[in-house]
Amino acid sequence: MTAPPKLLIFAGSTRRNSLNGRLAQAAADLALASGAEVTLLELADLAIPMYQGDLETEGMPADVMRLKQILFAHSGWIICSPEYNGSYPALLKNTIDWATRPVKSDPAWADGLKPFSGKVVGVLSASPGALGGLRAQSHLVPLLIALQCWVAPKAFALSRAAEAFDADGGLIQDAHRQSVRGVIDQVLFAAGRLAPTPGAAETASRTQFSK
């Protein structure tokens, strides 16, 4: 039997009490409750500098290698993005940019797209504003597609997010929980078919139209 897809969830914010961090935690709780295998990644736990080519020439930072391995090991991802000036924040761009860099010293990581290609990604966002970070999603989705990810058709933007969580970090409104669950369900459904195992992700991205 094929193992169920592993789900990676992370927020594009390292701020204490981040709304997107809270949304990521709520999504992880919902996914766990539905029986998924979940990794909740805190970008604050990775020491990843601002990208600069000279740093890369000196050697890929250890935590960039860790990040690549974590991304590769999960066939489905949920990204919770803040919105900064109508787009996604520099932290998310910097994290993704580093993860796309080929590793010259290691042939196993010579393909910069290896962590991304064939992954199924659900996009969530949270903002105190009325649009809930929807405009960040409109920039993030084309980036993910350019990196050969499959983006789930369902997405969710949590507006007025500062009032959306209870004291335990759960989403107060059932409608919000349903929306997050809808994205998770699509990611798990598609990841199970498009990229059932990390090793199969590469194969699937090469062969899915040849059957």
Ligand X SMILES: Cc1cc2nc3c(=O)[nH]c(=O)nc-3n(C[C@H](O)[C@H](O)[C@H](O)COP(=O)(O)O)c2cc1C
Query: What are the tokens at 41?
Result: 């990644």
CB of 27 closer than 8 Å to CB of 124: yes
What is the C-alpha to C-alpha distance for residues 126 and 143, in angstroms, rounded to an integer?
A: 19
- 123-152 CB burial, b ≥16 within 10 A, e <16: bbbbbeeeebbbbbbeebbebbeebebbbb
Minimal distance, residue 167 CB to ligand X, in Å: 17
Minimal distance, residue 57 CB to ligand X, in Å: 31
CB of 151 closer than 8 Å to CB of 141: yes
With 0-12 CB in 10 A as exposed, 13-18 as middle and 19+ as buried, what is 113?
middle
CB of 76 closer than 8 Å to CB of 185: no
What is the C-alpha to C-alpha distance for residues 65 and 101, in angstroms, rounded to an integer?
A: 10
Quickly tell me which residue has 């949590």 as its tokens.
158
Residues of this chain that interact with ligand X (CB under 6 A) are: 13, 15, 18-21, 82-86, 127-129, 131, 133
Cβ-based nearer residue to ligand X, 49 or 86: 86
Minimal distance, residue 131 CB to ligand X, in Å: 6
Minimal distance, residue 192 CB to ligand X, in Å: 29
Cβ-based nearer residue to ligand X, 104 or 160: 160
Cβ-based nearer residue to ligand X, 28 or 60: 28
Minimal distance, residue 88 CB to ligand X, in Å: 10
Cβ-based nearer residue to ligand X, 23 or 144: 23
Cβ-based nearer residue to ligand X, 128 or 196: 128
What is the C-alpha to C-alpha distance for residues 74 and 53, in angstroms, rounded to an integer?
A: 27
Which amino acid appears at position 174 of this protein? D
Cβ-based nearer residue to ligand X, 117 or 127: 127
Minimal distance, residue 107 CB to ligand X, in Å: 37
